[in-house]
Amino acid sequence: MSEALVEHYRSVRRHTLALAEPLSDEDCCAQSMPDASPVKWHMAHTTWFFETFLLERYEPAFQPFDAAFRVLFNSYYNGVGDKYPRPWRGLLTRPSLGDVRAYRRNVDERLVQLMARHDVPAELTGLVELGLQHEQQHQELMLTDVKHLLSMNPTHPAYSQAPLAPASWLAPATWHAFEAGIVRVGHEGDGFCFDNETPRHRQFVEAFELASRLVSNGEYLAFIEAGGYRDPALWLSEGWDWINANRISHPLYWRQMQDGWREFTLHGLQTLDLHRPVTHVSYFEADAYARWAGARLPSEAEWERAARDAKDFGHASLHPPAASGGARPDGLMQLFGACWQWTSSSYAPYPGYRAAEGAIGEYNGKFMVNQYVLRGSSCATPPGHARISYRNFFPAGTCWQFSGIRLARSSLS
Ligand SMILES: [Fe+2]
């Protein structure tokens, strides 16, 4: 196996440890809600993936590091067997964080040895790459899960002590027109993609316009001040029930103080920056905002058509940057590296989609129900992980991811 892949393996695995660096052992063990997992669990589960899907299959004389881990750190693979219940992951005070770090070192050593062998089957390369892409997905979850955890603490602890400077400027939003026609959707080329990005296929898309940048906090604040959360005409029925049942009247991490709005960030509690994009909004909120603004959310095919020549995949940071303009000749900004963008498309298989054989086939396909697709990437997406054809997906009431709003509108006359 190539030196480059071994080095890539080491660097992705190191990045996980680097993300945990600012955290205490206590930070790493707690779980703030059923959707979020403790950092320690992420560190173990990503290792479990390599042990279960690679070492167990291909290592001569395989012995598990700890037989109990097969169940403890199985996320959702029914084909592998029993799973420890997700809402209880924060109760796993044993194994200790030290034990999990030892587990990581052990699996790293064994996997690098396996990769060095000359008789490994060709499919191992693809599985190493899948394991690394899987770990990168969990790296983003580590940040969003830890943000949710820290947000529960009334002392507003910061993950990063680095200051978050206010954005001094915001590029004006403009509309960019795309003609009607057949567009190609799905992954192209030899690079890695998940199975849900295939097969590449054609879709007819009517003429549409896409906003040049994401909706800003200032624009979203205008929606709130105009009574957006109190007007049932703006909301999908389930969305109206959702905001009322959960008493939601602003984005997840906004806090209203006597002297104005603050936003909890990975840099701690900050004055709400009106220039930065609104983030941590649900599909329901994105949809209601779009209706209020006289627009709508883009479909997946529209988004992919608009992004097809993208070259700038953004830079990882801990909070979405403001649109400062000029990255692409067509003026589209913040396609990547700020907030995931809700689309109006249900997460469904592309025509001709087939999941992989066996337990690994549970990776994506079985989740294609009751979720919406988000496109692009976020500030928390690790470097090298974003792609034009990438399909992220969450249920409509999800807000703890870095999810934002890009508007579209139809240009049919
Ligand atoms: Fe996973």
Residue 37's CB is within 10 A of a number of other CB atoms, namely 22
Ligand 1 centroid to Cα of residue 290, in Å, is 32
The encoded tokens of residue 173 equal: 């939003």
Question: pLDDT band at 341, cuts 50/70/90?
Answer: very high
Ligand 1 centroid to Cα of residue 176, in Å, is 37
How far is Cα 290 from Cα 212, in angstroms, rounded to an integer? Answer: 15
pLDDT at residue 331, as a whole number: 83
| pTM greater than 0.75 | yes
Mean pLDDT of the chain: 95
CB within 8 Å of 235: residues ≥ 6 apart: 243, 284, 287, 288
Ligand 1 centroid to Cα of residue 138, in Å, is 7
pLDDT at residue 119, as a whole number: 82
Ligand 1 centroid to Cα of residue 137, in Å, is 8
Residue 326, pLDDT > 70, answer no
How far is Cα 48 from Cα 138, in angstroms, rounded to an integer? Answer: 13
Ligand 1 centroid to Cα of residue 336, in Å, is 22
Ligand 1 centroid to Cα of residue 132, in Å, is 11
Give CA separation, 34 vs 69, 88, 134, 394, in Å: 20, 8, 20, 14
Average pLDDT (266-295) is: 98
Angle at the Cα of 375 from the Cα atoms of 371 and 380, rounded to 5 degrees: 100
Residue 23, pLDDT > 70, answer yes
Ligand 1 centroid to Cα of residue 45, in Å, is 7
How far is Cα 189 from Cα 370, in angstroms, rounded to an integer? Answer: 30
- Say which CATH topology domain 175-410 has: paralog of FGE (formylglycine-generating enzyme) (3.90.1580)
How far is Cα 163 from Cα 178, in angstroms, rounded to an integer? Answer: 40
Domain formed by 3-151, architecture: Up-down Bundle (1.20)
Residues of the chain with CATH 1.20.120: 3-151
Residues of the chain with CATH 3.90.1580.10: 175-410
How far is Cα 377 from Cα 381, in angstroms, rounded to an integer? Answer: 6
pLDDT at residue 313, as a whole number: 92
In this predicted model, what pLDDT tens digit does every residue of 388-398 receive, in sequence order? 999 999 999 99
In this predicted model, what pLDDT tens digit does every residue of 225-241 receive, in sequence order? 999 999 999 999 999 99
How far is Cα 112 from Cα 317, in angstroms, rounded to an integer? Answer: 30
Average pLDDT (60-70) is: 96
Ligand 1 centroid to Cα of residue 136, in Å, is 10
The encoded tokens of residue 65 equal: 């590091």
Ligand 1 centroid to Cα of residue 258, in Å, is 41
Ligand 1 centroid to Cα of residue 75, in Å, is 6
**Low-confidence winner among 250-254, 311-315, 338-342 (lowest mean pLDDT):** 311-315
Ligand 1 centroid to Cα of residue 179, in Å, is 39
b/e sequence 353-366, b meaning 16+ C-beta within 10 Å: bebeeeebebbbee
The encoded tokens of residue 95 equal: 């194994």
Residue 267, pLDDT > 70, answer yes
Give CA separation, 122 vs 58, 107, 135, 193, 356, in Å: 11, 20, 21, 17, 16
Give CA separation, 30 vs 33, 42, 45, 318, in Å: 9, 12, 15, 20
CB within 8 Å of 39: residues ≥ 6 apart: 19, 20, 23, 27, 28, 29, 142, 145, 146
Ligand 1 centroid to Cα of residue 310, in Å, is 28
